[in-house]
Structure 1
């Protein structure tokens, strides 16, 4: 009888301890801008924040550990038209500060280098 009571007490204690489900959500929210366009990308919890492909952009960023320089590059061909566009990503990824700025020859080269992150 004592063993059953001890086992029940141990099980109850485990249920009351904070586990992965009760873990603190670490913020992952970036403000993205490219040319005249600007929006927020929220990746903590349900992806959103105004990005038209938020879930995919968040998944790509997660695979790149939040570093836009490590995003998968496209294989397409871009025109050799010089229309520079500056892209920025500022905010927090997994609790770390992100301050990223790059200039691209045109919007095509931007999208080739950053996947869906700046596809808005």
Structure 2
């Protein structure tokens, strides 16, 4: 019985300490910058990933970046301006980017070492949830697209 009483006291003390910490920090909730409702730009923010595997459900993600294109290119993507430009040139249709496979003229082997790329988020106000599997890293690079070059 004594053990249960000590546990309840310890729990009460821990709760009081946690509440005090939250009150001293402020609300304790991080808020992302949002596009105002009266903004002239539709939101465009994407999370792009590259992983090993045949589909996004089973792939081991190797790299991920954030790409925002409105009101200006930014995010953690190393070539945000170029990637936003390429997406704009195809109207945000990612499948158009992968149809240019072979555009760099690279000589890729036929080894099956699948790489899956994904794009999730919003493009000009429209929800995006897209994935594509390349036969290997060389065929992915052979598209010439800078969107997944990170």
Both proteins in one fold, TM over 0.5: yes
> For the Cα contact (< 8 Å) 2:50–2:118, is it kept in 1?
yes
Q: Matches of residues 17-36 of structure 1 in structure 2 within 5 Å?
A: 24-35=40-51, 36=62
Q: Matches of residues 1-120 of structure 1 in structure 2 within 5 Å?
A: 24-35=40-51, 36-71=62-97, 73=100, 74-77=103-106, 78-113=108-143, 115-120=145-150
* Equivalent residue number for residue 14 of structure 1: none
Name the Cα RMSD after superposition.
1.7
**What is the DSSP-based 3-state SS (H/G/I as helix, E as strand, rest coil) of the residue aligned with 1:113?**
coil
TM-score, normalised on structure 1? 0.74
**What is the DSSP-based 3-state SS (H/G/I as helix, E as strand, rest coil) of the residue aligned with 1:76?**
coil
For each residue in 1:7-61, what CA deviation from the matched residue of structure 2 results, as whole angstroms up to 9, or x when unmatched?
xxxxxxxxxxxxxxx8521111110000111111111122121111110110000
> For the Cα contact (< 8 Å) 2:120–2:129, is it kept in 1?
yes
> For the Cα contact (< 8 Å) 2:113–2:135, is it kept in 1?
yes
Could you say which structure has the larger radius of gyration? 2
TM-score, normalised on structure 2? 0.61
Unaligned 5+ segments in structure 2 are: 1-37, 52-61
Unaligned 5+ segments in structure 1 are: 1-21
> For the Cα contact (< 8 Å) 2:46–2:120, is it kept in 1?
yes
Aligned positions, number: 99
